Structure 1
Amino acid sequence: MKSVFDTVLGLFATPALIGLLAVFPPVVHAAETPKEIRIAVPDLSAGSQSSGGGVVDVLRSQKIFEEEFAADGIRIQWSFFKGAGPVVNEALANGQVDFAYLGDLAAIIGKANGLDTRLLSATARDVRLYLGVVPGSGIKTLADLKGKRVAVFRGTANQLSFAAALASQGLKERDLQVINLDFNASTAALAAKQIDATWGAANLIALQQRGLAELPLNTDDLKGVGSMQAVLLGTGDFVKKYPDVTARLIKAQQKAVQWLRSEEHKQDYVELVSGLSSYPQVLLQADLDNASFSRIFDPRLDPDFLAHLQAGVDLAAEQRLIRKGFKVSDWADPKYLDAALQQAPVAVAR
């Protein structure tokens, strides 16, 4: 079948016109590309360098995104925020970033508050969190926290995790004296016995090893209740304007995912994160010793992952961490990841 261009050319073609077209062929516009890709990450480091853990540290150390877009002249701008999820959401709202690696609650809060984001990939699932308490406090269970001073970083995945853990025991934040402190401040406050307990990640193991904290339970003891999920979000504006670039970014991310999920790289990962975050290797090894990297770093937006996120949305609405819930299935935009996985299928952890 002839195109409109062929039909018009057939009607009006002259030797002169054909000659001009040979010299000046019709212009075919290439897909538009951005000058830079701006990526936001909560900074989990305790030192002078920045660390986001997981796939972020692998992507940066191997310069995977930089190499993917170098030929296009597209610059990769990584921005790390000590204020974690709440500050990343501010950057998203102000149009300062295009993508964000976030824990579940911050991502949920942003979406619930009207941020136009797309859920593009899982980046971690079932991450273990711990209850840290003052040594000799006698706190052994979550019920023992009633009336106690407990530090939680509000607006982050830790808060949603803690809310889920409390709910599993019939408790709520109002049963405790909850104090809003960031990760480093809560660690220091626990070590100084200014609080009775805190809910956090592997950093609490360092206090335990120094005799400054006891860790009576973690989310594994609660059969996974309260474990943390993490995601990659893209802004609606960027994804709609640059779908090809978004697809390439997700495909490139799979290089880091595949590296991470290989058991032979487990020690390499511990050394990498230790160097960037200033956490001792022994601390990270204690946290990750029995962890399945194949499971934790499964990138799929599969029914299990989406159901866990939906439960988080529902709990956040019930606990009034957000004003109104929403359907995670409407938020998810898995086509870019699905395309990447068709070219490099992901192994499913059992």
Structure 2
Amino acid sequence: MRSRTMQILALLFLLLAVAVAWLWHRNRQPASPAEPLVIAANTEYVGTCAVVAAQTRGYFAAQGLQVKVLPFSSGKASLQAVLDGKADVATVADIPIVFAAMDGLPVKVLATLFRTGKDHGIVGRRDHGVVTPASLKGKRIGVSQGTSGHFTLDVFLNWQRMEGREVTMVNYKPEELGQALQRGEVDAISGWEPFLGATVKQLGDAAVSFSGEQAYESIYNLVALQRFTSQHAAVIPRVLRALAEASAYCERAPQELYGVLPATAHLNRDEVLNAWPNYHFGLELDQSLLLALEDRARWAIRNRLGSSREMPNFLDNMYLEGLVEVRPAAVTVIH
């Protein structure tokens, strides 16, 4: 009996030794290299929260991604980085996607990350005669042409029964608008947060603000070129899974994100938290995006802003496969 017990113990010891040796050998094996990915993003915009959170909280790393985030001051500049081969994907609002499609560029929307209707508007100077929306007539207005700020301004002027030619639009980079208004080079500016809020704070009582809430809903997206979607189809679901987890975190934890996001780190904490319910984070590819792109395209065609006078088929600019794999119920694009 004792002999049999010793045999069993010896066998167990041998199995344990084999298991330990296997684990040691496995741990000595080089880990699979992380997939490199460069994301161009307007890190000064709250709509990039999911990208920043996925990077800082390790959601990208958990998906086997080695991500580098290149900061830009607009989605337009971020998309240009992808077109120039400096980045793999970009965060961008709808207007630059429209111009890219009208130019025949193979831009693909992987997912919408963020929506809000309360971050665009116009800031003017009272001492320059800007008191009411109607008083914008004849004024010099700073704007980043070909962006959502440009679209917002045109729609806002239209509500006042004005045309774009009844004001003088002066083109600036988004981060230059506030300084231009402070220096008095323009009488008003049209753009988005956090630049508008910072300008109002700096001007104090001299500032007057007009909301662009009814003029424009910001639909912020993750995009890539068709070449990337063809060559890295297996990577895209991993990117989207990381961003889905990060979006949920952005939605529920503004108190923790306030000091981390470049877009909010230097703003008043209470104001940021009060505004947070107006921000909607989460991955989707909704039919309403196609309708919005068509609406922006009609604006561009009417104002002769693009190289084409034809309405693109924006369904060609949708990459549905990635989000279908990760979150199929979030894909409502009719195709």
The answer for the alignment partner of 1:8 in structure 2 is none
Aligned to 1:261, the other structure's residue is in SS state: helix
The answer for the alignment partner of 2:283 in structure 1 is 299
Report the TM-score, using the length of structure 2 for normalisation: 0.77
Matching of residues 4-23 of structure 1 within 5 Å: none
Question: What displacement does 1:229 show?
Answer: 2.0
Runs of 4+ in 1 over 4 A off after TM superposition: none
Question: What displacement does 1:316 show?
Answer: 1.8
Aligned 8 A contact 1:40 1:97 in 2: yes
The answer for the alignment partner of 1:289 in structure 2 is 274
The C-alpha deviation readout for 1:301-346, integer Å capped at 9, x for no partner, is 2223332232112212222222333132332223322322249x79
The answer for the alignment partner of 2:40 in structure 1 is 40
Question: What displacement does 1:150 show?
Answer: 0.4
Question: What displacement does 1:188 show?
Answer: 0.8
Q: CA RMSD in A?
A: 2.8
Identity %, equivalent residues: 20
Question: What displacement does 1:101 show?
Answer: 0.6
The answer for the alignment partner of 2:225 in structure 1 is 235
The answer for the alignment partner of 2:316 in structure 1 is 330
The answer for the alignment partner of 2:50 in structure 1 is 55
Aligned to 1:38, the other structure's residue is in SS state: strand
Q: Distance in 2 between the 1:267 and 1:171 partners?
A: 42
The answer for the alignment partner of 1:218 in structure 2 is 211
Question: What displacement does 1:278 show?
Answer: 7.2
Query: Per the alignment, do residues 286 and 173 of structure 1 end up closer, same or farther by CA in structure 2, a change over 3 Å counting?
Result: farther
Q: Which of 262, 269, 272 pairs up with 2:260?
A: 272
Query: Per the alignment, do residues 170 and 60 of structure 1 end up closer, same or farther by CA in structure 2, a change over 3 Å counting?
Result: farther
Aligned to 1:39, the other structure's residue is in SS state: strand
Q: Which of 154, 160, 169 pairs up with 1:163?
A: 154
Q: Which moved more, 1:241-250 or 1:322-331?
A: 322-331
| Runs (5+) with no aligned partner, structure 1 | 1-32, 46-50
Query: Per the alignment, do residues 258 and 288 of structure 1 end up closer, same or farther by CA in structure 2, a change over 3 Å counting?
Result: same
Q: Distance in 1 between the 2:35 and 2:199 partners?
A: 44
Q: Distance in 2 between the 1:279 and 1:176 partners?
A: 34
Q: Which amino acid aligns with 1:226?
A: Y
Q: Distance in 1 between the 2:174 and 2:265 partners?
A: 13
Query: Per the alignment, do residues 244 and 174 of structure 1 end up closer, same or farther by CA in structure 2, a change over 3 Å counting?
Result: same
Q: Distance in 2 between the 1:287 and 1:143 partners?
A: 30
Is 1:315 the counterpart of 2:306? The answer is: no
Aligned 8 A contact 1:129 1:218 in 2: yes
Query: Per the alignment, do residues 198 and 212 of structure 1 end up closer, same or farther by CA in structure 2, a change over 3 Å counting?
Result: farther
Query: Per the alignment, do residues 136 and 180 of structure 1 end up closer, same or farther by CA in structure 2, a change over 3 Å counting?
Result: same
The C-alpha deviation readout for 1:201-238, integer Å capped at 9, x for no partner, is 23222332341642331023xxx222322111021111
The answer for the alignment partner of 1:187 in structure 2 is 178
Q: Distance in 2 between the 1:309 and 1:173 partners?
A: 21
| Runs (5+) with no aligned partner, structure 2 | 1-32
Aligned 8 A contact 2:78 2:90 in 1: yes
Q: Which of 79, 98, 115 pairs up with 1:108?
A: 98
Q: Distance in 1 between the 2:270 and 2:316 partners?
A: 38
The C-alpha deviation readout for 1:138-192, integer Å capped at 9, x for no partner, is 4244332111010001232222222232234333322111101112321012122
Q: Distance in 2 between the 1:246 and 1:65 partners?
A: 12
The C-alpha deviation readout for 1:32-84, integer Å capped at 9, x for no partner, is x9952222123538xxxxx87432222222232233115xxxx32322234x3
Q: Which amino acid aligns with 2:300?
A: A
Aligned 8 A contact 1:38 1:77 in 2: yes
Aligned 8 A contact 2:76 2:92 in 1: no
Aligned 8 A contact 2:120 2:211 in 1: yes
The answer for the alignment partner of 1:29 in structure 2 is none
Aligned to 2:235, the other structure's residue is in SS state: helix
Aligned 8 A contact 1:122 1:231 in 2: yes
